Amino acid sequence: MTDTYRVFLFLIVIMSFFLTSGAFASDDINQADSHSSPHGGGLGERLPLWSVIPFVGILLSIAIFPLVAPTFWHHHYPKISFAWALIFGIPFVIFYGSDAVHEIIHIYVIDYIPFIILLWGLFTASGGIVVKGSLAGTPRVNVVILLIGTILASWMGTTGASMALIRPLIRANRTRRFKVHTVVFFIFLVSNIGGSLTPLGDPPLFLGFLHGVPFFWTFNIFPHMLITSVILLILYFIIDTILFRKEAHDIAKYATDDEESKEEGETKSIEPISVHGLHNVIFLAGIMGAVLLSGIWKGREMNVLGIHVGIQNITRDVLIILMGMFSLWTTNRKLREENGFTWFPITEVAYLFAGIFMCIIPALAMLRAGTSGELAFIIRAVKEPAHYFWITGSLSAFLDNAPTYLTFFNLSLGKLGIPEPLVTGILTGAQHPQAETFITYLKAISAGAVFFGAMTYIGNAPNFMVRSISEESKIKMPSFFGFMLWSVGILAPIFILVTLLFF
């Protein structure tokens, strides 16, 4: 037996020990089904805090391996993700039986599979749109691209906007020496904060829409998004201008070489800006339409492996797959080649998030258990709007921001004594003694869930994909913790300002 397998088995044994402490803490494990909510609330009451160790392990793997063993990570990251999933999953099923099996199937059927299908559809359709032309990566041009992406993110999703614009941005800056800061700010603005204004922008806002928040209500956090975005764009312009001037020697040399080429008879013409594969916008619109349809249409439910799935959600996933296939069939392969399109970014996300979604189960279950779970100290700490903003946001930076949003959305309703059926009325002007407080809480929850996704690579799926595409283009991106140095140093002060102004 190799050392790797010994370590793997040792970790499973250790995990079994930790989970055993939670399993036998329950008075009657065999009665688990009768005490569990459909979404694992009862399970969250019994899971020990130690059960989040595999989740911490997979995060540390993502953070450390690319830094200390990049070649090993590049070839074996699917195995590492799968290993952490098994380290948690095997003891979890052994000691929690049918509850564990139900929770695992639930998170993959309800969350992971639709998540990957949506990302694949947006990635495929947007990958067929190619911006050609002599686009120079000057500070002004870069700011314009970031601004356009920030605006588009709320209407075509952060993933759609990110995949459509990251490649043109990289090509525009191909002669620049300093590029990392541009990609980092792109992740901040286009992959996250720009998706604040509609349910199409980011998954947590779509969940709010499903639970009674009117489609355009999220424009109430436009001031929060505007201040954050303007500060980031100004800060980026200053940084990029300084770095652009530092590159003056390289730019001058490039211009000299260009003049020498012309003297030798080689002419270089400036290619006008043009967009090809624009028919893919139809498929992007179809994907967004399918997502919106699944929120408006209340169809009957089907039983899939013991999980109740709405027919509207199955229809949505089928439509998204069809839109992606139509994009592949109707787009010239040469266009995708010119766009530098490969399947690696989406496959990397699929493999890594398959493990993350498994390992994240105990943390989400404990949050859903509220004050009865091991994370009760977090729930009890939430009292003021600023708490909702920072705690929802901080958890969203590392956990799935959609269920985190829903947890604190329901927590605010419970604390204020507001039944969910009244949500739409309150948000459209109906009188209620707690209306003003609830609206402030919901603004904080919405802004926190979206904004803080920019704090880590796993805070939002486009972050990982943008990083992968950038590294394919030979841009050496920061490590997991290196990126957090950027995000904490730049975003945290801005979020403090947002808190002081609004919460």
How does residue 398 score in pLDDT terms, banded at 50, 70 and 90?
confident
Q: Pairing between strand 130-132 and 301-304? A: unpaired
Tens digits of residue pLDDT in 338-379? 777 888 888 888 898 899 889 988 888 887 777 787 888 888
Q: Between these two residues, 372 and 265, which has the higher pLDDT value?
A: 372
Q: Between these two residues, 389 and 404, which has the higher pLDDT value?
A: 389
Measured from the Cβ of residue 309, the count of other Cβ atoms closer than 10 Å reads 18
Q: What is the mean pLDDT of residues 236-244?
A: 93
- Report phi then psi at 486, rounded to 5: -60, -50
Residue (of 451, 454, 460) closest to 388 by Cα position: 451
Measured from the Cβ of residue 9, the count of other Cβ atoms closer than 10 Å reads 12
Please determine, for residue 261, whether its predicted confidence score (pLDDT) is greater than 70: no
The three-state secondary structure class of 304 is strand
C-alpha distances out from residue 50 to 21, 47, 53, 267, Å:
9, 8, 6, 66
Rg for the chain, CA atoms, rounded: 24
Please determine, for residue 177, whether its predicted confidence score (pLDDT) is greater than 50: yes
- Report phi then psi at 176, rounded to 5: -80, 145
* Whole-number pLDDT of residue 35: 38
* Lowest-pLDDT range of 66-70, 232-236, 465-469, 498-502: 66-70
Determine the Cα–Cα distance for residues 346 and 338; give it in Å rounded to an integer: 18
Largest Cα–Cα separation, the chain: 87
Under a CB-based contact definition with an 8 Å cutoff, are residues 452 and 393 in contact? Answer: yes
Q: Which two tokens stand for residue 221?
A: 């956090």
Q: Which helix (H) or strand (E) holds 132?
A: strand 130-132
What is the percent of the chain with per-residue pLDDT over 90, rounded to a whole number? 27
DSSP 195-244: GGSSTTT-HHHHHHHHTT--TTGGGGGHHHHHHHHHHHHHHHHHHHHHHH
**DSSP summary character for residue 259:** H
Q: Which two tokens stand for residue 109?
A: 């059927």
How many CA atoms lie less than 13 Å away from 334 in the CB half-sphere? 2
The three-state secondary structure class of 71 is helix
C-alpha distances out from residue 319 to 121, 281, 287, 457, 479, Å:
9, 15, 7, 28, 36
Q: Judge residue 209's burial from the number of C-beta atoms within 10 Å of its C-beta, 0-12 exposed, 13-18 middle, 19 or more buried.
A: buried
Q: Which helix (H) or strand (E) holds 35?
A: helix 32-35
Determine the Cα–Cα distance for residues 21 and 265; give it in Å rounded to an integer: 78
